[in-house]
Copies of this chain bind each other. A is one copy, B any other.
Amino acid sequence: MTVRVGVIGTGMIGTQHVHRLAREVVGSSVAAVFDVVADRAAALAQEVGATSAGSWAEVVEDADVDAVLIASPGDLHAEQVLACLAAGKPVLCEKPLATTAGDALKVVQAEVAAGRRLVQVGFMRRYDPGFRDVKAAIDGGAIGEPLLAHAVHRNASVPDAFVGEMSLTDSLVHEFDTFRWLFGQEIVATTVVAVRHSPLAAHLRDPQIVLLELGNGAVVDAESFVNCRYGYDVRCEVVGSTGTVALDNPRTTIVLGAGRRGETVPPDWGVRFGRAYQDELQAWIDALAGGATVAPGASDAWDGYAAISVAETAVASFGLHARTEVQLVERPDLYIREAGR
């Protein structure tokens, strides 16, 4: 049984998702595609044998669409997800779930009202083998009690459209989900620490350090640096009471030459996390094919709400130059599952 997916948004990541669903994921096909750039959507639809829809709502309502993947601009996510919920269709929404905590909360409330989870949020790191090893080491007791973590998240560069608070809402939002997941704790407060700006990206406040306080008192210091120039570099070390576990970039071949021992740093997130994206899609399709509505262990609407709430708090913290507490509603029973999931 093939899961027929409708894809809303065919920018860079949306196009990648269409190609993966059509060619690299087992058990899926792309049934319908929509983008405001109609020509692009039409060409892509033709390429994979899908319908080119006239609006995103058409995709949601299409009887040939079993599930929806949303890769549109972030400020449209909440409305589109809500429409999927109204239509009773499973939906994988690229991060962020919404651009405000309030909008994300509406999604949570809609799911609670419906009494079942249909929403999955695209925090693909939960499918990266490295991050999964870190999670397994913590859960397996390899480091004792987890107490703190250090994290870096660096991009070689960002497009001109990357401005303002996007390093918090678009880039570090991955860390907000990652460390909630790794520690099995909510983030309860954030502090943004201003750092000397890189002279190579003077229009941004870049790099910066964000402190995350978790519910049990654990702390994460996370560096965001979106113009580090040398490559794409996501690493972390989780420190426990008896040991630590660290994620480094995948080892590549080692070249000895000209006085140096060198390895390649990933050039971008597509190279670093390409496999995680594919495994995320495969797990989603497998879950749907098996009758479930979300994949086990994936980020759900609550996770998406929590992550954007933290991002919003971090933005406020930057403005206030002060530690700021995250305000979450009480977690509904629908989202309460086993500890350390």
Interface, chain A (partner B; CB < 8 A): 23-26, 130, 133-134, 137, 142-145, 147-148, 150, 152, 191, 193-200, 207, 209, 211, 214, 216-219, 221, 223, 225, 228-231, 233, 239, 241-265, 267
Contact = CB atoms under 8 A, between A and B. Distances in A.
Contacts of A241: 198-200, 229
A137 to B, nearest CB: 6
A24 B282 CA distance: 9
A219 B243 contact: no
Nearest to A243: B257
A196 B216 contact: yes
A17 to B, nearest CB: 15
A152 to B, nearest CB: 8
A231 B257 CA distance: 8
Given A249-B261, A259-B267, A260-B263, 14 more contacts: A23-B26, A133-B253, A145-B199, A191-B193, A198-B241, A199-B241, A209-B211, A228-B243, A230-B243, A230-B260, A244-B257, A245-B254, A245-B256, A248-B254
B245 A225 contact: no
A41 B167 CA distance: 55
Nearest to A266: B259
A145 B207 CA distance: 12
A211 B193 CA distance: 9
* Number of copies of this chain that the complex holds: 4
Contacts of A25: 26
A243 B229 contact: yes
Contact of A260 (B143, B150, B265): B265
Contacts of A199: 145, 241
A150 B150 contact: yes
Contacts of A248: 251, 253-254
Given A256-B246, A258-B230, A223 B198 contact: no
A242 B142 CA distance: 24
A242 B255 contact: no
A243 B258 contact: yes
Contact of A223 (B144, B148, B152, B194): B148
